[in-house]
Amino acid sequence: MQTQIFLLQNYIADGTEIGASALFFYYAGVEISRFLCTFAVKLFRLPSPFFSMKILHTSDWHLGHTLYSYDRGDEQQDMLNRIADIVKAELPDLLLVCGDIFHTSQPPAAAQSMLSHAILSFIEANPAMSVVITAGNHDSSSKHDIFREPWKRLNVFTFGALDFDDPFSHILEIPNKAFVIAIPFVHERNMPDGLWQSLLDEVASRNVNNLPVVMMAHTTVAGCNFTGHDNPDNELSVGGINALSIDEMGQGFDYLALGHIHCPQTIIGSKGRIRYSGTPLPISFDECFTHSVSIVEIDAHNSQPFISEIEIPALRDVVTLPAEGYCDFDQAQQLLIEFPDDIPAYIRLNVETKDFLPANATDEARKLTLDKQCRFCFINAHRPESHTNQNLGMTVEEFRAESPIDIVSRFAASEGFEFDDDLKLLFAEAKEFVKENTH
C-alpha cells in the first residue's frame, strides 16, 4: 500500500508519462487486490474490506400480472428464485425493493403468498441481511403495512404509506452499515414541501460515523429512458406520475434507489448516484431490453457508488414477429409456422393491412401455435397513413343498413386493433343495458 501511495504522489507531482504510468499501476494493483478479495469473500462468506455496504436493488416485480389472460405465476416464482440465488451468492447487506411489488392494489392470494415465501427465502439465503420494501403506485399501502411489525423481527421493514405525522419514522439506521430513507409512492399533490431535503438534513445530523446514506423512492425522473411504457416520448408524466427534476430530490444522499420506470438505467447528470433497477421480468412486448437487478457497493458517506447489473433471464421471452417493422398477414402466419416448437415465449404479430384483417385472423393465428410451447397473444395491426381513415365515411343509408356491432368493429379496425369476442360480448351487454334503461 505504501508503494501505491508513493506512486500516486509521484503521479500528482509529475503529470508526465511517468505519472500516468504510476496511476495505471496504482489502479491495476487496486483492481487485482479487489478481485482476490472478492474471490475470498464469496468463497468463505466473509464481509468485504473494500466496501462497507453492499446493496441489491430491485423493483417493479408486478406479482400477479397476467399477459393477455395467460397466468405468469411460474415465471414470477422463477424470477424470485433467481433473486434468492443472487442473494446467496452476493451476500448483500441490504435488499431494497422500490415499489410495484404487486400488479394491482388487490393482488390474488397466490401472489401475496408468493411474496411472503420469497422474503423468507431471501432471509434464509443471507440471515445477516436487512430487507426494505416500499409500496409503488400499483400497490395497496395497507397490504404492505398489515404485517409490518412481525416482519421487523426478521429485519424486514415495509413502508406502505407516508407517515405525515412522523416523517422521520421513514429513516432507518442499519447499525454500522448505512442510513436508509424509505419513501413509498406519494402522489405529488400530497407530497409535503421540502420532504426529501428535510429527511436528508435529519440524517446528516445523526450520521456521526460517516455511514453511507441511501434513499428509496417510486417516482418519475425527468430525462430518463421511458422505453417500455405507454407514450415513451412523453417526458412529463409516466403511469400517472409527473416527472421530477434531479434538483427536487435533495442533496446529501450517496445513492437514490428508484422504482417505477422499467428500463434499468443510471440517470444522466446524477454523477452515478440515482438509478432505476428496472423490472426483472418483462411486463409488455415493448420492453426490448435486458432485465436485471442492480448490485451497488458504497464505501462510506460521500464516496462514489460502484454499480453492476446481474441479468435475470426470463422463463418465457416476449417475441414480436417480424422482429422489425410489419408484414402482411400471410407472411406473419408463415413466421408463426416457422417459429421453433420448443421455445417457450409470448408472441405478438406485427401486421400491416390496407383494409381490414380477416374476421377470424386471431383464431387462425392461435391455431398455428397449438402444438408449440409459445403462447400467441395478439395481432398488432398497422394501417399505413395513406390508408388511415379511408372508407370510414358512411352515408345515412349505409349507416342504417349496418348493425351496431359491425359499425363498432369497423371503427376498431380503423384504429388498428381487433374487436375480439370478449369485446363483442361487453358491447352486447352494454347494448342490452341501454335498452333496458331507456324504455
| Residues 54, 254 contacting (CB under 8 angstroms) | no
pLDDT at 385: 65
Give CA torsion, residues 62, 57, 312, 39, to 10 deg: -160
Domain 51-311 has CATH 3.60.21.10: yes
Per-residue pLDDT of the chain (439 residues; tens, 9 = 90+): 333 333 333 333 344 444 444 434 444 454 455 455 545 544 554 544 445 799 999 999 999 999 999 999 999 999 999 999 999 999 999 999 999 999 999 999 999 999 999 999 999 999 999 999 999 999 999 888 888 999 999 999 999 999 999 999 999 999 999 999 999 999 888 999 999 999 999 999 999 999 999 999 999 998 888 888 766 555 566 777 888 889 999 999 999 999 999 999 999 999 999 999 999 999 999 998 999 999 999 999 999 999 999 999 999 999 999 999 999 999 999 999 999 999 999 999 999 988 788 889 999 999 999 999 999 999 998 887 654 444 555 555 456 556 787 777 777 776 666 777 677 777 877 876 676 666 4
Residues 6+ apart with CB under 8 A from 354: 383, 384, 387
Dihedrals φ, ψ of 208, to 5°? -75, -20
- 399: alpha, beta or left? (left if phi > 0; alpha if psi -120 to 50): alpha
Which of these, 174, 186, 175, lies nearest to 135 by C-alpha position?
186
Residue 67: strand pairing partners: 70
Which of these, 279, 366, 340, 349, lies nearest to 314 by C-alpha position?
279
Cβ-defined contacts of 47-51 (< 8 Å, 24+): 48/297, 50/297, 50/299, 51/297, 51/298, 51/299, 51/306
CA distances for 346 relative to 69, 320, 368, 376, angstroms: 12, 8, 13, 6
User: Domain segments of the chain: what residues?
Assistant: 1-49, 51-311, 317-436
pLDDT at 353: 87
Residues 6+ apart with CB under 8 A from 277: 57, 58, 59, 60, 98, 257, 258, 259, 264, 292, 293, 294
Residues 6+ apart with CB under 8 A from 197: 250, 251, 252
pTM confidence score: 0.77
Q: Which residues of 273-294 are buried (b: 16+ CB within 10 A; e: fewer)?
A: bbbbbbbbbbbbbbbebebbbb
**Rounded-to-integer distance, Cα 243 and Cα 236, Å:** 5
